[in-house]
Amino acid sequence: MKHLKQIRILPIVLLCISAGFIALQFFNAPIEQRPVTGPMKNVPKEVTQILERSCYGCHSNAQNLTFLDKLAPISWIVNKDIRRAREVMNFSEWDKLSEVEQKGKFYAIFNMVRAEKMPLPSYAMTHPGAKLSRNEIEIIKQFALSLSKKDSFIPAHMSPVEAGPKVETLTTAIQAGVPVSPNGISYNADFKNWKVIGMSTLIDNSIRVIYGNDIAVKAIQEENFHPWPDGSAIAKVVFKQAKKPNGEIVPGDFVNMQYMVKDGKEYTKTEGWGFAKFNGQELKPTGKTALFAQQSCISCHRQLAESTGYLFNVPPKVNSRKLIEQYLKTASK
């Protein structure tokens, strides 16, 4: 009797599931179709072939979606991934980026594939052909490196003599008010009084100094950055490289100030971090809309700096405790 009941229930359950599945399709909006307006130029074919196979599925306007990709609820995930991917980097609208940005993107691409963060593991699982071999990752690396080969440590307009101690003092001042990023974050000149938490250089010929406010410094000291406490703020100040006669590289012209401030309730779409970037002597804010952080900042931070609470430039664990204790003992004398 019990067995007979089960047999009757099974078709009803299957029918309900099927009806639910069909109902879902009424809430299924296709991804927006956009034209290819500015494809990549001057990129070797072997590089574009890899990108087309592994990345274009999301990072372009030329998707080749399967029937399953278009079915809800899978389509919801697929469409969300494509929208986010296009925001971050779109190979079909490559001409919207400056040459410097394109170079930076190739370093980001290499870092993503090297760390096996891209293609997304879920995408690679369902699209096995998208996976990159070691050789293909090496091809991307070599191409990224080739983009910087022609550069020297010194910007073309700055000779070693000019770059020495007699660099002219920059006199341009901010004329009106405090610059404000489209997401409402203001330029915070107070960073000059914060503690320097690190220094870095990038192959884009910059030299950087990273400052942290008291809350951020305390969080680093206490390894308390999962998540970072609200109010933590980091300022990364970027300069062009200038070469001294003795071969040392020092900060030259100011390029920009990149600012991150933590507010878990305010910046929910960007892992609790608010981003701002102020460029040149005028401190012109980056971004046309408040969405710029979602479109260009958070993707690298999210994928590559998760272990340090989505913040790059936390001082690495490279000093032996004994060495530091020895130093502190000497310093306190």
Partner 1 sequence: MKKVLYILLFGSLIFGSCAKNPEKETGKIRFMFDPGSLKFISSSFNPNLQTMSALYGNQKGISALEAKKGIIGVDLKLVTYKMQDDPNYFGSKVNGELLSVETVKSDQMGNLKYGIEFGKVSSNESSKQRISSILEYQPLKLPQ
Considering only residues 101 to 130 of the shown chain, the ones binding partner 1 according to CB under 8 A are 107, 110-111, 114, 121-122, 125-126
For the CB of residue 287, give the shortest distance to partner 1 in the complex, in Å: 19
Stretch that binds partner 1, among 7-15, 88-96, 264-272, 312-320 (CB under 8 A): 312-320
Residues 6 or more apart from 67 whose CB is under 8 A from it?
none
For residue 220, state whether it binds partner 1 (rule: CB under 8 A). yes
> CA-CA distance, 78 to 57, in Å (whole number)?
10
Q: Which is nearer to partner 1, 3 or 317 (CB)?
A: 317
Residue number with CB closer to partner 1 (92 or 257): 257
Minimum CB distance to partner 1, residue 3 (Å) = 26
Which string of DSSP letters, residue by residue, matches 1-26? -HHHHHHHHHHHHHHHHHHHHHHHGG
Task: Find, among 122, 124, 119, 139, the residue nearest to 43 by Cα.
Answer: 139
Q: Which of residues 8-37 bind partner 1 (CB under 8 A)?
A: none
100 near partner 1, rule: CB under 8 A? no
Closest approach of partner 1 to the CB of residue 72, in Å: 11
CB of 15 to partner 1, least distance (A): 15
312 sits near partner 1 (criterion: CB under 8 A): yes
Question: Site for partner 1 (CB under 8 A): which residue of 4, 7, 156, 318?
Answer: 318
Binding residues for partner 1, rule CB under 8 A, total: 79
Segment near partner 1 (CB under 8 A), from 26-34, 35-43, 249-257, 261-269?
249-257
Which range touches partner 1 (CB under 8 A), out of 27-35, 44-52, 197-205, 267-275?
Answer: 197-205
Nearest distance, CB of residue 328 and partner 1, angstroms: 9
CA 18 – CA 15 distance, rounded (Å): 5
Give the distance, in angstroms, between the CA of residue 268 and the centroid of all CA atoms in the same chain: 16
Among the listed residues 196, 264, 269, 291, the single contact to partner 1 using CB under 8 A: 196
Contacts by 296-300, CB closer than 8 A, 24 or more apart: 296/88, 297/270, 298/269, 298/270, 298/271, 298/273, 299/84, 299/88, 299/89, 299/108, 300/108, 300/111, 300/112
DSSP 115-175: TT-SS-HHHHHH-GGGPPPHHHHHHHHHHHHHHHHT--SS-TT--TTTTSTTPPPP-----
Four-point Cα dihedral 228, 230, 232, 235, nearest 10: 100
Return the range that interacts with partner 1 (CB under 8 A); candidates 25-33, 56-64, 69-77, 291-299.
69-77
Residues 139-158 that bind partner 1 (CB under 8 A): 141, 144, 148, 153
Least distance in angstroms from the C-beta of 251 to partner 1: 6
Amino acid at 177: G
